[in-house]
Structure 1
Amino acid sequence: IMTMQRRRTAASRCSRALLVLAVLCARCCRATCPERALERREEEANIVLTGTVEEILNMDPVHNTYSCKVRVWRYLKGREVVTRDVLLDGGNKVMIGGFGDPGICDNQVATGDTRIFFVNRAPAHLWPAHRSELMLNSSLMRITLRNLEQVEHCVEGESPRTCAGRAWGQFSPGTHEQLSKAQTGSQWPGPVAQVEAGLPV
C-alpha cells in the first residue's frame, strides 16, 4: 500500500512539474513573439477582412510558408483596394500568402478556419509570382463578437482605449440583434451573418 501511495505521489508531482513547464514554455513563446497593439496592426494593414480558409496552396518546403484561398465574408477595411485582378471565383474569394512567416506570431491556419485577416497587396519584389495575392501583415484573429467590435472601433478611428475593447454588453444594437436571432434559432442567419455576428461557421 505504501508503495502505491508513493507512486501516486510521485506521479502527482510529475504532473504538476509538467504543467508548470508547459506554462513557462507558453510564456516564453509569447515573450519571444510580442504582438503589436491592435490599433497599430489595423493602421499598417490596407485591407482587413473576415473569411474562411478553403484551400491551402503553394507550400514552400524551404521556408515553410504557404498561401491560402480564402472565401471572403466581409470587408472591414479597404474593399476599394481589392482590384479585379485579386478577386477569384466570381469575386468572393482571394488568395492570401505569408502563412508560416516566422515574423508573424499567429501565422498558421487549417482548411475551414474562419479568421480576421490583416493584409496588404503583395509588394513589388514578390512579383510576378505573387502579384495577384494579398499578403498577411500581422497575426490572425479568431472570429468573436468582442474581436469584431474591437477591430471595427479601430477602423472607425476611435481612441486607442476604445479600440482596445469595450466592456462586455456595450455593443452596437445591430450586432446585438444578429446575435439574438442566432441564439434563439429564429431566422438562423447563415454563414455571412454568422461571421458578422461573431459566431463560428
Structure 2
Amino acid sequence: MKVACIIFLLLALAIVTQSRRQRRHYWSKSRCLEKTLEEREEYADVVLAATVRRVRRIERHLVATVVIKGIFKGSHYLNNVHDRRKKIYKTGEGRYIRIKGLGNPKICDNMVYPRDTRIFLLKYEKNGDLFLNSSLVRITLNNMERTDAAVSSEYKLQ
C-alpha cells in the first residue's frame, strides 16, 4: 500500500512539473511570432521614441503617459491628439501623450514601466486616441537606425 502511494505521488509530481514546463515554454518569447520591424512599421500610423512617465489601469486596459523624445513617422497625426481635457498638447519632442492598448495579450512585448524608453509603433484612431499596434522596440543604436531606415525608405517610395 505504501509503495502504491509513493508511486502515485511521484507520477502526480511528474505530471505537475511537466505541465509547468509546458506553460513556461508556451509563454516564452521564442513562441511569440512577430513580424520584422520593417513590416510592423508599415502598419503603424505613428512611430516614435518616448519615455514612460506613468502607467495607469483604466477599466481593463493599461494607459501610459509618455514624453516624446523623437518622432520617426506620423507627426501630422499628433496634431490631432487631445489630452483628457480636450485641449491639444504642444506638438513635437517634449510633448506628453497618452498611449492606450498596453497589456494586450495579442501583442508580444507589450508592458512598460515608468522611466522605460522605447520605440512605440502606434495606430491612430479617429477620436484622437493612440493605440499600441505591435511589440515595443528597445532603444539601441541599431534599432534606431533600422526604424529610421524603414520609415525613410517608405517615404522615398511614395
TM-score, length of structure 2 as denominator length: 0.70
In 1: Cα distance, 2:80 partner to 2:150 partner = 26
Return 5+ residue gaps in structure 2 as ranges: 1-20
Q: Are residues 39 and 85 of structure 1, via their aligned partners in 2, closer, same or farther at CA, if it must alter by over 3 Å?
A: closer
Letter in 1 for 2:145: E
Asked if residue 110 in structure 1 is aligned to residue 109 in structure 2, the reply is no
Is 149-158 or 73-82 further displaced after alignment? 149-158
Would you say how many aligned residue pairs link Structure 1 and Structure 2?
Answer: 128
Point out the structure with the larger helix share. 1
The alpha carbon displacement at 1:58 in A equals 3.5
Letter in 2 for 1:58: R
Q: Are residues 78 and 142 of structure 1, via their aligned partners in 2, closer, same or farther at CA, if it must alter by over 3 Å?
A: same
The alpha carbon displacement at 1:30 in A equals 2.8
CA contact (8 A) 2:80 2:128 kept: no
Runs of 4+ in 1 over 4 A off after TM superposition: 24-28
Aligned to 2:36: 37
Which deviations, in whole Å up to 9, do the C-alpha atoms of 1:156-179 show, x marking residues without a partner? 117xxxxxxxxxxxxxxxxxxxxx
Point out the structure with the larger strand share. 2
Return 5+ residue gaps in structure 1 as ranges: 1-20, 125-130, 159-201
In 2: Cα distance, 1:132 partner to 1:118 partner = 16
The alpha carbon displacement at 1:59 in A equals 3.5
Q: Please give the secondary structure, in 1, of the residue aligned with 2:134.
A: coil
Which deviations, in whole Å up to 9, do the C-alpha atoms of 1:48-94 show, x marking residues without a partner? 0000011112333xx4x301111001101110121244366544111
Q: 1:151 aligns with which of 127, 132, 147?
A: 147
Aligned to 1:140: 136
In 2: Cα distance, 1:35 partner to 1:107 partner = 12
